[in-house]
């Protein structure tokens, strides 16, 4: 199987190709014309200076380079894809990695587009129908009929498991109309919506309160809001991989950029170094430091390598992506530990550890940053009240917050 890789920013440009040989090995090769440009999509493992077809040099990370692994579907997307193939008698273990990429189409975050050389129109059509059903369910949110939403999610097989299913939608400025993201009117905004499946947990309200708290702490966040039919709160976040002209921005996670497996976690010092090197901006390093302080104190322990990302624009200029998945979260791979370490520590991180992180990474005025973050977290009851979080859940969340 062979895939063509295209840049779908403000136009459509061929980047290169992915293909699988007879032994099953996956190779990537740049288009020579793309290599004459200045846009380094993944400078650490796929620099423009590469010649010929190359395999990933880090088999411990996976058979794909991180640039493409970032584009694979998340947990919900995989379940939906698995359902599609198994209904057609194709065992999931027979579906190749390239086939999964081919099925992604254009409905994904970032600026990469995968065009298969074989015919995947059947899957694309089926996914269009599934997504259309979700759009209709989302419209029901605006009408206040949340039962329709839940029944549609059940129908598409996206409801089991306890995590929140997500869908990319385009929503009118007055939030009265919803459209498929890739066929939206020009004035529509592009949003990622997480559906609330267990109202008693109030996960949407908690994430909305955390977003407000993070902004107060000085962290760069995308615009967020709650869609609230019949007391259920679905969390919506404006997509940051679109510019003001609706062009797509390239999105690359820290995990994909550095080929760091999620199970390995990350070290904040290394994340700060990558941010500074990639963006050539001191404030990018300080933004990451501020997030480290916030995530530790606010008990967002699942801040793994795919929950930190970078954006690249049409000119090849990198920036730190706004923070996302900012909420109360434990690290599922190691109870009592954090996904991201501070000075080698994944638990019981002290203010001394944070200040050492600042010193070793040339962070300016770390005490002021810490004070601003602490002040914002101390205001948790106000943020919880603003999103109408129940008092019992607000107290349970606050009990997880840490103090220095």
Q: Report the pLDDT value the prediction gives residue 43, as an integer from 0 to 100.
A: 97
Cα 357 to Cα 342: distance, rounded to the nearest angstrom: 7
Residues 6+ apart with CB under 8 A from 311: 240, 241, 249, 250, 251, 318, 319, 320, 321
Distances in whole angstroms, Cα of residue 189 to Cα of each of 170, 180, 262, 291, 321: 5, 11, 31, 27, 18
The tens-digit pLDDT sequence of the chain (404 residues) is: 889 999 987 668 999 999 999 898 999 999 999 999 999 999 999 999 999 999 999 999 999 999 999 998 777 667 767 777 777 788 888 888 888 888 776 667 899 988 874 444 555 555 555 555 555 655 565 565 555 544 444 344 333 233 567 777 888 898 887 776 666 778 888 898 888 878 899 999 999 999 999 999 999 999 999 988 767 888 999 999 987 766 889 999 999 999 999 889 899 999 999 999 999 999 999 999 999 999 999 999 999 999 999 999 999 999 999 999 999 999 888 888 999 999 999 999 999 999 999 999 999 999 999 999 999 999 999 999 999 999 999 999 999 999 99
Cα 234 to Cα 379: distance, rounded to the nearest angstrom: 23
Packing angle, helices 366-378 and 351-360, rounded to 10 = 140
Helix (H) / strand (E) containing 190: strand 189-194
Q: Report the pLDDT value the prediction gives residue 373, as an integer from 0 to 100.
A: 98
DSSP symbol at 151: H
Neighbouring C-alpha atoms within 13 Å toward the C-beta of 147: 0
Cα 99 to Cα 92: distance, rounded to the nearest angstrom: 11
* pTM of model > 0.85: yes
Which 3 state secondary structure label does DSSP give 287? helix
Q: Report the pLDDT value the prediction gives residue 228, as an integer from 0 to 100.
A: 84
DSSP symbol at 16: E
**Nearest by Cα to 85 from 99, 68, 105:** 99
Q: Report the pLDDT value the prediction gives residue 128, as an integer from 0 to 100.
A: 52
Q: Report the pLDDT value the prediction gives residue 309, as an integer from 0 to 100.
A: 97
Q: Report the pLDDT value the prediction gives residue 162, as an integer from 0 to 100.
A: 35
DSSP symbol at 263: G
Phi first, then psi, for residue 382 (nearest 5°) are -70, -45
Q: How many CB atoms lie within 10 A of CB 335?
A: 8
Cα four-point dihedral sign 34, 123, 91, 264: positive
Sheet of strand 13-20, all strands in order from the earlier edge strand to the far edge: 26-30, 13-20, 2-7, 112-116
* Under 8 Å between Cβ of 66 and 256: yes
**Nearest by Cα to 388 from 260, 153, 199:** 199
**Nearest by Cα to 271 from 233, 309, 244:** 309
Write down the domain spans for the chain. Answer: 2-112, 124-238, 250-398
């Amino acid at each position: 199987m062979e895939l063509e890789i295209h840049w779908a920013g403000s136009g459509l440009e061929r980047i290169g190709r992915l293909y699988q040989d007879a032994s099953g090995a996956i190779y990537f090769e740049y288009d020579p014309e793309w290599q004459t440009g200045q846009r380094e999509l993944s400078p650490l493992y796929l620099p423009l200076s590469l010649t010929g077809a190359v395999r990933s040099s880090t088999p411990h990370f996976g058979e794909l380079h991180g640039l493409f692994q970032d584009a694979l579907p998340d947990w919900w997307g995989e379940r939906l894809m698995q359902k599609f193939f198994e209904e057609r008698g194709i065992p999931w273990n027979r579906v190749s990695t390239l086939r999964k990429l081919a099925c992604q189409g254009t409905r994904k975050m970032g600026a990469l587009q995968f065009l298969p050389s074989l015919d995947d129109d059947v899957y694309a059509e089926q996914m269009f129908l599934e997504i259309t059903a979700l759009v209709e369910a989302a419209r029901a949110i605006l009408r206040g009929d949340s039962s329709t939403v839940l029944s549609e999610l059940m129908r598409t097989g996206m409801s089991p498991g306890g995590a929140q299913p997500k869908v990319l939608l385009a929503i009118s400025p007055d939030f009265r109309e919803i459209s498929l993201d890739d066929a939206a009117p020009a004035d529509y905004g592009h949003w990622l919506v997480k559906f609330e499946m267990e109202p008693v947990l109030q996960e949407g309200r908690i994430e909305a309160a955390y977003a407000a708290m993070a902004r107060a702490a000085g962290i760069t966040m995308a615009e967020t809001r709650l869609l609230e039919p019949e007391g259920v709160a679905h969390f919506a976040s404006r997509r940051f991989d679109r510019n003001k002209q609706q062009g797509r921005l390239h999105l690359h996670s820290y995990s994909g950029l550095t080929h760091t497996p999620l199970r390995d976690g990350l070290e904040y010092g290394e994340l700060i170094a990558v941010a500074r090197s990639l963006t050539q901006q001191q404030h990018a390093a300080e933004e990451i430091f501020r997030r480290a302080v916030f995530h530790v104190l606010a008990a967002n322990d699942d801040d793994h390598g795919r929950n930190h990302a970078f954006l690249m624009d049409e000119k090849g200029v990198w920036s730190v992506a706004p923070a996302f998945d900012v909420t109360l979260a434990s690290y599922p791979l190691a109870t009592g530990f954090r996904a991201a370490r501070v000075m080698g520590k994944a638990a019981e991180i002290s203010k001394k550890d944070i200040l050492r992180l600042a010193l070793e990474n040339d962070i300016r005025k770390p005490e002021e940053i810490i004070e601003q973050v602490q002040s914002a977290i101390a205001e948790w009851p106000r943020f919880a009240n603003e999103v109408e979080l129940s008092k019992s859940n607000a107290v349970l969340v606050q009990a997880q917050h840490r103090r220095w």
